[in-house]
Structure 1
Amino acid sequence: MLCIKHHSTDPYFNIATDEYIFKHIKEDCFMLWRNDNAIIVGKHQNTLAEINHEYVKEKNIKVVRRLSGGGAVYHDLGNLNFSFTRTGDSYEMIDFERYTLPIIEVLKELGVNAKFEGRNDLTIEGKKFSGNAEHVFKNKVLHHGTLLFSSEMKDISGALKINPLKYKDRGVKSVPNRVTNISDHLPEKISLDEFTNKVMAHITNSFRDARLYEFTEEDLAAIQEIRDEKYATWDWNYGYSPDYNFKQGARTPGGTVEMNMNVSQGIIKDVRITGDFFHIKDISPIEKALENIRHDEKEIREKLSQFDLKEYFNKVTEDDLVAIMF
């Protein structure tokens, strides 16, 4: 088994790396890696329904869709991620407890009473510190999980908090959990780097065929291509979302404005703007202009900038309209 300590902190590159070791490296792999500020959404989720759009924009948090299912998770440099790829004879190899056991063993050695609970979580004193997901293709499994070590809890709650009434869809919804950091439970404090080394040492000592591996230049070039062509694109991270209906209103200086939209594969198919605001010109040209574009702030602003909104709305600005659409 190849054991990889991955040094990149680019979320797009790292999620592409997960796909690369799964699809292009024949040997089984174990990898440790970290992402700078990012929300990683499950393959079948509606991205915009999982994130706090304003918070994500303000904090410059990257949003990336992964290959596996499950719910959205927040990553920062205080969170350590681990990945296993394994080839087996049947779907019996899908076993969340099997792949998380080494983590529990390391924590027990450090004096932390960690447990596997529920469908795919690791907990300490009933609080979640690790969420796990798996993706299977033919006879191969990709298992990856998070390990909250010293993450910023306020960013976790701020980035993922969203009003569930905005989006009506059939995407997989994340379930809020009480979370905790591993570092808060260690009898003797160690750094994240020290913890990373202990996990890697445990893996290399536990698997007879384990050996350290560094990506080659060819590996890195192939990963970069996957990153650029897939994981850094709007089409994958937002457009892949299931179809949804969006409805949200807000009170503005010009009155109440409500946006009603039907969205398919991230593209706004139709828009109705309602409310008790006062309009001057007929607003149907604005509704029409917002059709067949991405549910994306930049594209929406480009369309709205083509209109002198003061001729259509009394005391309702472009910023007001954009805020209501997310």
Structure 2
Amino acid sequence: MIYIKNDDNRPQFNLALEQYVFDSLDQFDEIFLLWINEPSIIVGKNQNTIQEINLDYIKENNINVVRRLSGGGAVYHDYGNLNYTIISKSKETSAFNFEAFSQPVIEVLAKLGVKAEFSGRNDITIDGKKFCGNAQYMKKGKVLHHGAMLFDTNLEVLGKALKVSKDKIESKGVKSVRSRVTNIKDHLKEDITVEDFKQLLLEHMFKGNKEIEEYKLTEEDYANINKLMEERYATWEWNFGSSPDFNIEKSRRFPSGKVETKIDVHEGIIKGIKIYGDFFGGGEISDVENKFIGIKYREDEISKVLDNIDIGYYFSGISKYDIMSCII
């Protein structure tokens, strides 16, 4: 495993760094990153950004909004939040294995006397309250796994900045997003900082090694990361995107995540379709959307299209019939 040190706090840079490392540093089998963002909301790849954030509050408080490569739901980051990334070459990329990648965090907390548990599809909890959400991105035999840990995050701001849908809150059996999350620091016997915790996690990841093997980013690396940041992660098109015209809207929440569709149908023909949600999956969801353009808005026609799509790849844990119910 290789460690890449990064002290930049800009979410646009950090997400560009992740993608660059994933796409370009293929000489390493495993890469580990730790990073801290300034106040930001990081939205899942397939989410409708405007529906996930309190836009007025975001603007008033200068909070960044940036879309990541992986699926899942929106999360709030600040200087009390610690993010970790594991990039690994994997022969088995057909299923999203969140629990295995979450073990290092659980083990470090156990050393500190805190019992943490993997819960649901992608959470790590303490006493039933979430402090870490995980997400993954897969491509060409590699997996990018990242987790966002609430160490000493301002939970009041988190509650105001995120606009979590009612159906998600109800599915968790709680009254608000604020009531279902907790900070690691509130459960520790000793008073340590997020930087202390960062060091403990780093040392744990390289346990047994005499020293941490580090890859230092070159000037060329930085130039490429900055270019990617400017062309993707700092753009309105990537982070927000335009919401299409539609005359049919359907939405359902499944155990594996929410799927929402906005469909533009004229004279019985699908002219446009946009699929949103906090589901996990590989590939580009636009590849799925494009297959419906020009198709008759009829159950048999839509079924034929879905038969030619690897549903499990694009929508992990969601069936063809589930997707059908979100379209027609």
Is TM-score (shorter-chain normalized) higher than 0.5? Answer: yes
- Summarize deviations over 1:148-179 as a string: whole Å, max 9, x none: 100000110110026769xxxxxxxxx94710
Structure 1 gap ranges (5+): 166-174, 247-261, 267-326
Counterpart in the other structure of 1:10: 10
Letter of the aligned partner of 1:66 in structure 2?
R
Deviation at 1:189, TM superposition (A): 1.2
How far, CA to CA, are the matches of 1:209 and 1:242 in structure 2?
A: 52
CA contact (8 A) 1:239 1:265 kept: no
Counterpart in the other structure of 1:236: 238
CA contact (8 A) 2:51 2:163 kept: no
Letter of the aligned partner of 2:41 in structure 1?
I
Structure 2 gap ranges (5+): 168-175, 249-263, 265-271, 275-328
How far, CA to CA, are the matches of 1:93 and 1:86 in structure 2?
A: 14
Farther-moved stretch of structure 1 (57-66 vs 92-101): 92-101
CA contact (8 A) 1:120 1:133 kept: yes
CA contact (8 A) 1:13 1:223 kept: yes
How far, CA to CA, are the matches of 2:150 and 2:209 in structure 1?
A: 24
SS class of match (1:69): coil
Counterpart in the other structure of 2:307: none
4+ residue segments displaced more than 3 Å: 162-165, 206-210, 240-246
TM-score for the superposition, normalised by structure 2: 0.68
TM-score for the superposition, normalised by structure 1: 0.69
Letter of the aligned partner of 1:6 in structure 2?
N
Counterpart in the other structure of 1:152: 154
Counterpart in the other structure of 2:35: 33
SS class of match (1:81): strand
* Equivalent residue in structure 2 for 1:142, among 144, 148, 153: 144
Q: CA RMSD in A?
A: 2.7
Deviation at 1:216, TM superposition (A): 1.8
* Alignment CA distance shift 1:228-1:115 (3 Å): same
CA contact (8 A) 2:57 2:160 kept: yes
* Alignment CA distance shift 1:97-1:154 (3 Å): same
How far, CA to CA, are the matches of 2:9 and 2:122 in structure 1?
A: 25
Letter of the aligned partner of 1:67 in structure 2?
L
How far, CA to CA, are the matches of 2:189 and 2:180 in structure 1?
A: 21
Pairwise mapping of residues 1-326 of structure 1 onto structure 2 (< 5 A)? 1-26=1-26, 27=28, 28-91=30-93, 94-161=96-163, 176=177, 178-205=180-207, 211-239=213-241
SS class of match (2:206): helix
User: Which structure has the bigger radius of gyration?
Assistant: 1
How far, CA to CA, are the matches of 1:82 and 1:15 in structure 2?
A: 12
Among the aligned pairs, what percent are the same residue? 48
Deviation at 1:4, TM superposition (A): 2.0
* Alignment CA distance shift 1:207-1:101 (3 Å): farther
- Summarize deviations over 1:76-131 as a string: whole Å, max 9, x none: 00000000100121226742111110111100001111111111100000000000
Deviation at 1:217, TM superposition (A): 1.6
* Alignment CA distance shift 1:209-1:38 (3 Å): same
How far, CA to CA, are the matches of 2:245 and 2:102 in structure 1?
A: 34
